[in-house]
Amino acid sequence: MDFLVVLIAYLVSISLSSYDEPFTEWTLGWRRLTARIKLNRALALAVYLLAPVVLLAAVLWFFSNSLVSFVCSLALLLLVFRSGDQPEKLAEYQAKVDQGDEQAAWQIAVDSLGLESQMYQPGDDGIDEGVQAGLGYLFLERFFVPVFWFIAFGAPGVLLVWLTSALMRDEQVDAFCHKVKHALYWIPVRAMAITTALVGSFSHCFPVWTQQSKDFDSDDRVLLVRCMQSAICQADECDMLSETLKLLKRTQFAWLVMLGFWLLFSI
């Protein structure tokens, strides 16, 4: 059942274009409400994250119905997977770059490819490396982290990921919140990175993964980017972004295959 839910959510997400949803704003409203409670920041954050997760777990336990669990899991996975239109957006970005329209290319990269706008401006040198990092992190946040915690804890695990992701969009997010996110992402980012080694250049990527993954405080984005770059180190520079996208798609497919086999043999 878990594999079927993930597969359906994945197939639906890659058929969707970018869309707006109201749930992030509602979630931030819940965050602001919990922040007003007279508790220290750790307890307020625990209330924000754990109250909805425990409530959902209680509802699923009360009904103990596979259909209810399926619907909740599918809805939450679709919410976190969002749109899978990165191939189309990357093609648009590269077309704008070829046309010399640096402003339009930068805007597409910021809106749809995960480029950090505060680090790059239109026409900056190295902007493709920023897009590469953004693409990898988009796939991490929207697929690999949710799938990992879904397999671990079901729908409540996906909800925890969603609440954490929404929290990062709050203008008042502090260092403690980033530490919570780092802890939540620590295992999935390393699992994703080692998979890039398996589907890419293993001899180049595995030593990088071994060196980088031991440090608990290692930045998720840095670890992921270095592993991706080493996994496609033999690609031409002009093909870097397209090869990165192919690598990420192969990594997704490998997870789906491994998930399918694991669930098949665990029956």
Contact status, residue 102 vs residue 261, Cβ threshold 8 Å: no
Answer yes or no: are the C-beta atoms of 160 and 49 closer than 8 Å. yes
Residue 53 has what pLDDT? Answer: 96
pLDDT recorded at residue 140: 96
Quote the pLDDT of residue 18.
Answer: 66
What is the separation, in whole angstroms, between the first and last Cα of the chain?
A: 11
- CA–CA separation, 217 vs 246, rounded Å? 29
Distance CA 53, CA 96 (A): 43
- Which pLDDT value is given to residue 19? 63
pLDDT for 20: 63
Report the pLDDT value the prediction gives residue 267, as an integer from 0 to 100: 58
Q: Distance between alpha carbon 55 and the CA centroid of its chain, in Å?
A: 24
Residue 150 contacts residue 77 (beta carbons within 8 Å): yes
Please report, in tens digits, the pLDDT of each residue of the chain (267 residues total): 688 899 999 999 888 776 666 788 888 888 888 888 777 888 888 999 999 999 999 999 998 888 999 999 999 999 999 888 899 999 999 999 999 999 999 999 999 999 998 888 888 888 999 999 999 999 999 999 999 999 999 999 999 999 999 888 877 778 888 899 999 999 999 999 999 999 999 999 999 999 888 887 888 899 999 999 999 987 787 889 999 999 999 999 999 999 888 877 765
Are residues 184 and 99 in contact, defined by beta-carbon separation less than 8 angstroms?
A: no
